[in-house]
Amino acid sequence: MVAAAEKLDYDLIVVGAGNAGMCSALSAKEKGAERILVVERSLEQERGGNSRFTAGAFRITYGGVDDLLEVMPDLTKDEIENTDFGTYSSEQFFDDMARVTHYRADPDLVEVLVGESLESLVWMKDQGVAFLPAYGRQAFKIDGKFKFWGGLTIEARGGGVGLVESLHTAAANRGIDVIYESRAVSLVLEDGAVAGVEITQHGKPMTALSRAVILASGGFQANTEWRTRYLGPGWDLARVRGTRHNTGDGIRMALDVGALAAGNWSGSHAVAWDYNAPQFGDLKVGESFQKHSYPFGIIVNSDGRRFVDEGADFRNYTYAKYGQEILKQPFQLAWQVFDSKVTHLLRDEYRIQELTKVTADTLEELAQKLDDVDGDGFLKTVADFNAAVRTDVEFNPTVLDGRSTEGLAVPKSNWANRIDSPPFEAYATTCGITFTFGGLGVDPSARVLSAEGWPIPGLFAAGELVGGLFYFNYPGGTGLTSGTVFGRIAGRSAAEYLA
């Protein structure tokens, strides 16, 4: 770590010390950039931005176990023999990106994301990041064998914290400097090219000069005013899943020098989040305030009514948009309800201490315990739902099983089971925003584009503040993959620019 001074002089400055930023710095170093500085707004113990708060899951293409062994060479013989990892092709990844974004995702950026996903994780492994199968989150045991589902197989060892610490260890070993409690304020321009960053540290201004800058400081989800301005009324009431420092500084700095605004500025990744979670992420709990096993139960609002199709698709393809649906409900409240037939399928986050949960031996008792819910409306909803379940179709959590309801105004398309086997459990949730989809226009080389469409000399971007990839929704695990892929490209492009 380098001490702050009134003026710093580097070849390359990276703004943000999360996954995208550190991958950018490591890639640039690998490609020949010498003096690299990473500017991080948080305390050192909170470093890593939103990456630190994630579960560490990555979505990549793979043709089978041989590809996965390139990323996870420590897979044991028993793990391989007792697991059906399946495959996830480039075509599937591209189709998922197109489908969930309603075909608005920039195809050039998606092609890069998909095409470099596997090799980027192999590269991360070579930097010292360890990976393992996401058994606890993405696999169910069927007939004695684990089966993965939804195209998501890999997570970083130690989750987001492990990922961040591994990247910072690699950076320290390669002589990359990092300064903390330092907020990037504006870009320095010289003859139309980016030539550094103005910074404040403990309120003291200083200038960091460089020949190139990579912006990797996240979206604007922690900026209450921007959320309300761009996402719309009510978004000031959302909880922020991650860091309090992602307030859009990098986006604003780039726009101030003429960068192109791109992507879905009124959209975001927002999930079901514990109703009593704090306003910002809690590193002690991490991502475990999320509640993502709703496909196996029902979700009701304060009127006791269902309002989404819990089984519309695998959780990976609906969880990032259902937080917004919760935000639209009275009191921004939704209860997830399960019976004993499925509680063994609930993810680990349903077993932590910090949650809002009620249990009951009868539905009538449960109705009385659901705070701020119309009990009669809830009991009618359950009765109508139970009567509509197709019991002639076998329940299978690893596929889109077609076990649906019939005749309901809000259907359940898969995994429909009657709520009739006590004890019953219910979990109170609200909207937790992860990151915003609007950001900066970049080309496939991660160069930030001007409003006129040409690259701004010396300016690159990666991570959440890249616009154009995600619209309306998001395939689970793609955010970290995007940060890695475009971080690696940004570092490579910046090094080439410097050379």
What are the structural domains, with CATH classification, of the chain? 7-219+437-498 (3.50.50.60), 270-432 (3.90.700.10)
Q: Is the pLDDT of residue 20 over 50?
A: yes
CA torsion through residues 210, 214, 216, 222, sign: positive
pLDDT of 138 reads 86
pLDDT band at 149 (very low <50, low <70, confident <90, very high): confident
pLDDT band at 153 (very low <50, low <70, confident <90, very high): very high
pLDDT of 136 reads 82
Q: Is the pLDDT of residue 344 over 60?
A: yes
Please tell me the distance from the alpha carbon of residue 252 to that of residue 250, in angstroms, as a whole number: 5
pLDDT of 151 reads 87
218, 464 Cβ separation under 8 angstroms: yes
pLDDT of 2 reads 52
Task: Over range 315-325, report the average pLDDT.
Answer: 95
Q: Per-residue pLDDT tens for 364-387? A: 999 999 999 999 999 999 999 999
Task: Over range 269-297, report the average pLDDT.
Answer: 95
pLDDT band at 356 (very low <50, low <70, confident <90, very high): very high
* Encoded tokens for 228: 């309300």
Task: Over range 430-457, report the average pLDDT.
Answer: 98
38, 241 Cβ separation under 8 angstroms: no
* Beta-strand pair 424-436/439-440: unpaired
pLDDT of 310 reads 98
Q: Per-residue pLDDT tens for 182-206? A: 999 999 999 999 999 999 998 899 9
Q: What is the mean pLDDT of the chain?
A: 96
pLDDT of 7 reads 79
Please tell me the distance from the alpha carbon of residue 359 to that of residue 365, in angstroms, as a whole number: 9
Q: Is the pLDDT of residue 4 over 50?
A: no
Percent of the chain whose predicted confidence (pLDDT) is above 70: 99
R_g of the chain, CA atoms, integer Å: 23
Task: Over range 311-340, report the average pLDDT.
Answer: 97
Lowest mean pLDDT among 4-18, 116-130, 391-405, 446-460: 4-18
Q: Is the pLDDT of residue 146 over 90?
A: yes
Please tell me the distance from the alpha carbon of residue 479 to that of residue 487, in angstroms, as a whole number: 12
Percent of the chain whose predicted confidence (pLDDT) is above 90: 95
Q: Is the pLDDT of residue 142 over 90?
A: no
